[in-house]
Chain A
Amino acid sequence: MKKVLGVVIGGLLAFNSFGATAQQITYPNKNITVIIPKNPGGGTDTSTRLTIEYAKSYLPSGVIFVPENKPAGNGVTGLIEGARAKPDGTTLVMTTVELAMFPHQGKSPVTYQNFTPLYAPIADPCAIVVKADSPYKTLADLVAAAKEKPGTIQVANSGTGAIYHLAALNMEKQLGIKLKHIPFSEGVGPAIAALAGGHVDAVITTPGAAKSQIDAGALRALGVMDEKRFALLPDVPTFKEALGKEVDVRMRAWAALAGPADLPANVKDQLVAAFKAVAANPAYQDAMKKQGIMPSTLVGDDVAKMLKDDHDLYKELIAAAK
């Protein structure tokens, strides 16, 4: 009875939300802390805040989500705190693709096994982007040029050992080419600025970060590293389409909301159901697309599978890079 009443009241309170009643979260009796292991204002931060903004209507009254930025130690301290929190569903953490890489680089004592994945708002593929007036019109041009003059094409990434560098390494490995890696540990913004100024030949990034310049015709995306085209850039071929059947370069930059391992089943189910409803909310999808992010609908065990797959992928890539 109490539960039913709670659902009704919750539904009344959340009258402006989309199909709130069936996904009501009932377990928490205190605020849910959401650890964001990144700086405020960045892509991970904004999409986390957006996600919880749309999810808050499913919470019982008097309880809110409290986002907490913990970027110290490149976010590892935030990940550790999320992993070691009491598994009662009142501490969640937005893990990022670094979780699949840091353990192999000796930078993180926690891995995907320390978390219960719930929902991945972002799972965007990497793309390779050049300047509009670049001599490389297609991905094949770039690969041919790299074969002709190995180690001369300057490809900017967001730091050695970070995802875009590993994506470039994966390209090298799969295509049998040699590139010149220019790390921009300051982030992908300065790397794109360098591309716009013509100081590097190409940048590997998620499409969202370069979308406005691609749309304006200042930059050109040559290919996305996925099995299907990226919905926000439908004209850009995948690597497979651009280069032929045997090529399989797949890299995705994701962010996955997770709780600590051993989350009780009912807590996990409630959270997964709530975030599934958020992911299906058209207003939420619009808000994410405005940021150049294609909102994913991966929840629960699908996310867990992605985390495990990427963990194994990066293990191999990082071992090969040494």
Chain B
Amino acid sequence: MRKYNFVVAALSILMGCAIFWFSRNLTPFDEMGIPGEAFWPQAIAWLFIFLGGLQAIQSLIASSSGGEASVDLHSPGVRVAYIGALLAFAYAVLMTYFGFSVATLVFIPLLMLLMGERKPLMIAVTALAVVAVVWFFFVQVFNTTLPPSIFFE
């Protein structure tokens, strides 16, 4: 945990600095002395920096006393979760190009395979049922649209 707490502290301070950098052209106070566009973001930026510092100090103290929880970001299980996230992201990309139905019919089987489902019937039924139910309610009942395919014009 200790290593990551320092990373968190550094990122927090970095975030504060980034806000300062990106708000450099905004006005903190207008001519009447009323807070302007930069006032609130920069107040948040100071908080980020202050809290980042506090986190760093706390980690220093805590590490001397020992006994910290460990953080698991690399175990095989977590890696599988990363693949799951990647699949979901690919799902969104696929949906942008091929629309809802095609993307979902690809995504659900892949994710189910990733999660250890091996029965083809189960996979097929789940994928088809989800697409059918969502399509029925959104398109037929509520008269709203699902992500369309950009090729289908």
By a beta-carbon cutoff of 8 Å, the part of chain A in contact with chain B is: 33, 64, 66-68, 86
Contact = CB atoms under 8 A, between A and B. Distances in A.
9 contacts: A33-B145, A64-B143, A66-B143, A66-B144, A66-B145, A67-B143, A68-B144, A68-B145, A86-B153
Given A33-B145, A66-B145, A68-B145, 5 more contacts: A64-B143, A66-B144, A67-B143, A68-B144, A86-B153
Contacts of B145: 33, 66, 68
Interface in B113-153: 143-145, 153
A256 B153 CA distance: 25
Interface residues of B, number: 4
A66 B143 CA distance: 6
A66 B144 CA distance: 7
Interface of B: 143-145, 153
Interface SS, A side: strand
Contacts of B153: 86
A67 B144 CA distance: 7
A33 B145 CA distance: 9
A32 B144 CA distance: 12
Contacts of A64: 143
A67 B143 CA distance: 8
A9 B143 CA distance: 24
Nearest to A69: B144
B84 to A, nearest CB: 27
Nearest to A86: B153
B24 to A, nearest CB: 19
Nearest to A85: B153
A50 to B, nearest CB: 15
A80 to B, nearest CB: 15
